[in-house]
Structure 1
Amino acid sequence: MKKGENTRKHIISKAAELFNQKGYAGSSMSDITELTGIKKGGIYRHFASKDEIALEAYNYAGSIVGGHIQEAIRQQETAFGKLLSYLRVYVNVVEEPPFIGGCPLLNAAVECDDGHPILRQRAQQGLEGTLGNIKAIIMQGIESGEFKADIDVDALATFTLSIMEGSVMMSKLEGDNRHVRMNIENFSAYLRAVCVQN
């Protein structure tokens, strides 16, 4: 890998950590230069603007978390287990999040609701992709006979992601993983009672 590519990747990875912890608006170019050890001129040789860095950083953070989720899913044989993987990846979100600062999708969605349309659009794409992956798992569960045929796939996908993001937010805010852990148990009970074929 060329030195320029290494430098660009270094900037992206450090900026991703910074933005995911301090937010886009709360992070300055000076913060990026301090964290990376690269002067502004060096950063601008690789990126046209802070916006460009933010988009690349979001993509990077999302790919790290997505990799953890996909690995957890691969270890499960049932649709039930695969859905729970979305929460289990965050079971120790306070001490050991899958990416520093928590969920990039949640953080970007909260911060850029109205103030950063480009990052908001990228977060919307992340939301659509995540919901699409969850729906595919649910459909597999229906097709295999594991889940009931009359399940509202869209509603269950939204519920799954909402439980995950709400659990992450509450556990991070309180500094206690109990919300994620409680919701793993509660969501398991819900799936058994409402979705799984008897």
Structure 2
Amino acid sequence: MTKGEETRQRIVELAAPLFNQRGYAGCSVADIMEATGLEKGGIYRYFGSKEDLAAEAFKFSVAEIRKLRTDDLDGVPGAIGKLRYIMDRFVSEPSPMKGGCPLMNTAIDSDDGNAALRDLARDAFADWRRRMAAIIRQGIRDGDISKSTDPAELADTIIASLEGALMLTRLDGNKRALKHVRQSMVLLLTAHST
């Protein structure tokens, strides 16, 4: 990695928690300058706009979350085991990014404004949905999950339940809702297993 690439990556890594905590509108270039120690021109040398930097920061944040929650997934046997592993990691491993889940934060923050960030959030959720549905389809093929299960429906239910519980967890200041949802999702998976 060249020195320029390292600087660019450092800017992304330092800006990511700022955007995640404050949102796009709430994070100023001055905030990024303070966090990175760079002047405005130094930042814009690597990024064409604040929106470009926010997009890269979001992609970085999502990659970090995905790595945290799905590392070692290949070593987990069976589709039900993989789904439970993902849910357990979601409940037990908080976001490494200050401010919580970048998917939820960006989806909410960009809903009324930034179309580029909204598209990135939508794409990230679609990717998560595809990966979950692929596990479910494999479970159907392997005979672990009932053939009557709709993979997209079950994936959406799990994702929406986890993200909703995460929102309640943040509001309540404890993990009760996440633990309740994990228990309910285990029952749901049991109902879908063969």
TM over 0.5: same fold?
Answer: yes
Residue deviations 1:55-100, cap 9 Å, x none? 100100010011112215234212112122333223246xx42432
| Aligned match of 1:185 | 183
- C-alpha change, 1:9 and 1:22, in structure 2 (3 Å) is same
Separation of aligned partners in 2, 1:59 and 1:97: 14
* Structure 1 stretches lacking a partner, 5+ long: none
Residue deviations 1:148-170, cap 9 Å, x none? 01111111011011011111111
Instruction: Classify the secondary structure of the residue corresponding to 2:24.
Output: coil
Taking only the aligned residue pairs, the percentage that are identical comes to 37
Separation of aligned partners in 1, 2:139 and 2:125: 21
| Aligned match of 1:159 | 157
Shift of 1:147: 0.5
- C-alpha change, 1:21 and 1:92, in structure 2 (3 Å) is farther
1:109 aligns with 2:107: yes
Instruction: Classify the secondary structure of the residue corresponding to 2:38.
Output: coil
| Aligned match of 2:34 | 34
Structure 1 residues 64-73 or 35-44, which shifts more? 64-73
Residue deviations 1:97-156, cap 9 Å, x none? 243222111111111012110111111111111100010000011011001011111110
Alignment root-mean-square deviation, CA: 1.4
| Aligned match of 1:173 | 171
Shift of 1:3: 1.6
One-letter identity of the residue aligned with 2:18: L
| Aligned match of 1:73 | 73
Residues 73, 85 of structure 1: 8 Å contact kept: yes
- C-alpha change, 1:98 and 1:142, in structure 2 (3 Å) is farther
Separation of aligned partners in 2, 1:113 and 1:46: 27
Aligned length: 194
* Structure 2 stretches lacking a partner, 5+ long: none
| Aligned match of 1:16 | 16
| Aligned match of 1:118 | 116
- C-alpha change, 1:74 and 1:98, in structure 2 (3 Å) is farther
Separation of aligned partners in 2, 1:72 and 1:180: 22
After the TM superposition, list the runs of 4 or more consecutive aligned residues in structure 1 that deviate by more than 3 angstroms. Answer: none
Separation of aligned partners in 2, 1:185 and 1:139: 22
One-letter identity of the residue aligned with 2:127: G
Separation of aligned partners in 2, 1:83 and 1:72: 13
Residues 61, 102 of structure 2: 8 Å contact kept: yes
Residues 58, 102 of structure 2: 8 Å contact kept: yes
Structure 1 residues 50-59 or 83-92, which shifts more? 83-92
Residues 21, 101 of structure 1: 8 Å contact kept: yes
One-letter identity of the residue aligned with 1:89: R
Residues 72, 89 of structure 1: 8 Å contact kept: no
Please show how residues 77-92 of structure 1 align to structure 2 within 5 Å.
77-92=77-92
